[in-house]
Amino acid sequence: MASAGRVKKEILTICKPDNTSGVIAQVAPDDKHVPSKPGWRHLTGSITGPEGTCYEGGVFDVDILIPKEYPFEPPKMRFITKIWHPNVSSQTGAICLDILKDQWSPALTIKTALLSLQALLCSPEPKDPQDAQVAGMYLDNPAEFNRTAKSWVKTHATPKSASSKEDAIGRVCEMGFDRGSAIKALEKSKWDESAAVNALLGM
């Protein structure tokens, strides 16, 4: 069983703003539990794109599920934010990283796992890909890979300003949805307008 004490201690640490590491996590909004209770195990992590990479300027959200056997089993992680990377599925956000599989150790933590994901953004492993199409582009056409990755950062991972959020709300409302529903759908979809509209349409 997951140690409630250890999980609580980890989250109290990783929830604190940390401008040096660029990673943070919080309890997922849909988790009904609280850190002091054993059932609490659904988090949302956030990774800042490393400077000097094609992911610079992006903020990437990661879904984190802590299994009952944690820390003897690794946390289950996947990218919520769409990212163009050889070791991350461009469709599902599934991640290919050894420490999230057979190289996990109970000595590791949720924070070190997030830091390892951040390091993966600096050093992709195209020969052990999660997404063969992306890995092929990375190996065969690095310039096109960088252009695509930067475009995805701009589209999916760039934090929205207050004015751009208001513009997005206006565009969704113009499609016939009320403001409250539009805001709720946009927030849930991380301000991805297409995803928000699809959700409102029940697609």
pLDDT in tens, 37-90: 444 688 999 999 999 999 999 999 999 999 989 999 999 999 999 999 999 999
In the chain, residues under CATH classification 3.10.110.10 are 4-157
Catalytic residue among 15, 54, 96, 122: 96
CA distances from 20 to 7, 17, 47, 54, 168 (A): 22, 9, 12, 19, 31
Helix ranges, the chain (H): 4-14, 110-122, 132-140, 142-152, 162-173, 179-188, 193-200
Mean of pLDDT over the chain:
88
* pLDDT higher than 60, residue 1: no
Is the peptide bond between 50 and the residue preceding it cis, with omega within 30 degrees of 0?
no
pTM over 0.85, yes/no: no
In the chain, residues under CATH classification 1.10.8 are 162-200
Q: What is the CATH number of domain 4-157?
A: 3.10.110.10
Q: What's the confidence (pLDDT) of residue 65? A: 93
Residues 194, 196: Cα–Cα separation, whole Å: 5
- To the query of whether residue 54 is one of the catalytic residues in this protein, the response is no
> pLDDT by residue (tens digit) across 76-129?
999 999 999 999 999 999 999 999 999 999 999 999 999 999 999 999 999 999
CATH topology of domain 162-200: Helicase, Ruva Protein; domain 3 (1.10.8)
Q: What's the confidence (pLDDT) of residue 145? A: 98
Identify the three-state secondary structure at position 25. Answer: strand
